[in-house]
Amino acid sequence: MKLTLVGSRYFGATALERLQKEDVEIARVVVPAADDRLALAASAAGLEVVVLADPAIVPAEVIADGTDLIVAAHSHARVSSDALARSRLGGIGFHPSLLPRHRGIAAVEWTIQEGDPIAGGSIYHLAERMDAGAIAAQDWCFVRKGETARELWERALAPMGLDLLVRVVREAKISGKLPATPQDEQFATRAPMTHK
């Protein structure tokens, strides 16, 4: 199983660390900046690192030849449909909400702002529409009273996302395919950037 990992920061670097313990090949790591935490971790591990020319889009040419699966781990760059077409199984990403609820960049903030008693995470298929692809796996947790978005992310959602990501990669490796349950659009809500 050959992966191209697209991501950044703590979540990307920790996903890399977790995936390196699996029986998969990380063919290439794609990052928004050369000094990003994921870029530094991948370089230290001797992996090929590609820095995006445009941090908003992942073009086809940065996907390693023979990629079976693109894994997005804290990527704010949209993986283009041409890039997805270069991967046998397409791509998956982690979103820190129970999709289709809170689609968007500020899902955890909206979970807190809306007073949701339950939060969750989704591994979803990367698709043309942001956060709208079929669901491969989901899990949930309770939100503590008075918890901030950052506290919820660090306590529950980031660890959950890493576990779900590894679980879906393992499943894809064994079965040769990805689970896919379409999102129910009637429950979709948006989570755009919040301005304090």
- Determine the topology of domain 1-88 in CATH: Rossmann fold (3.40.50)
- Of 173, 183, 159, 121, which Cα lies nearest the Cα of 15? 159
95-161+179-196 matches 1-88 in CATH topology:
yes
Contact yes or no for 12/38 (Cβ under 8 A): yes
Contact yes or no for 73/11 (Cβ under 8 A): yes
On average, the pLDDT of the chain sits at 96
Taking the C-alpha atoms of residue 48 and residue 61, their distance in angstroms, rounded to an integer, is 14
Token pair of 150, please?
């950052």
Instruction: Quote the pLDDT of residue 194.
Output: 78
Whole-structure pTM value: 0.95
76 vs 16: which has the higher pLDDT: 16
Helix or strand or coil: residue 60?
helix
Helix or strand or coil: residue 30?
strand
Strand pairing of 49-51 and 25-31? parallel
Task: Give DSSP secondary structure letters for 12-80.
Answer: HHHHHHHHHTSS-EEEEEEES-TTSHHHHHHHHTT--EEE-SSTTEE-GGGSPTT-SEEEEES--SEE-
CATH number of the structural domain 95-161+179-196? 3.40.50.170
- Of 117, 115, 112, 106, which Cα lies nearest the Cα of 149? 112
Token pair of 146, please?
């008075």
pLDDT at 59 over 60: yes
Rounded mean pLDDT, 116-134: 95
Token pair of 16, please?
């890399």
Instruction: Quote the pLDDT of residue 128.
Output: 85
Contact yes or no for 122/97 (Cβ under 8 A): yes
pLDDT in tens, 6-54: 999 999 999 999 999 999 999 999 999 999 999 999 999 999 999 999 9
* Residue 55: band (very low, low, confident or very high) from pLDDT cuts 50, 70, 90: very high
Q: Which helix (H) or strand (E) holds 143?
A: none
> In whole angstroms, how far apart are CA 191 and each of 22, 99, 118?
33, 11, 16
Quote the percentage of the chain above a pLDDT of 70. 99
Amino acid at 168: V
pLDDT in tens, 168-188: 999 999 999 999 999 999 999
Domain ranges of the chain: 1-88, 95-161+179-196
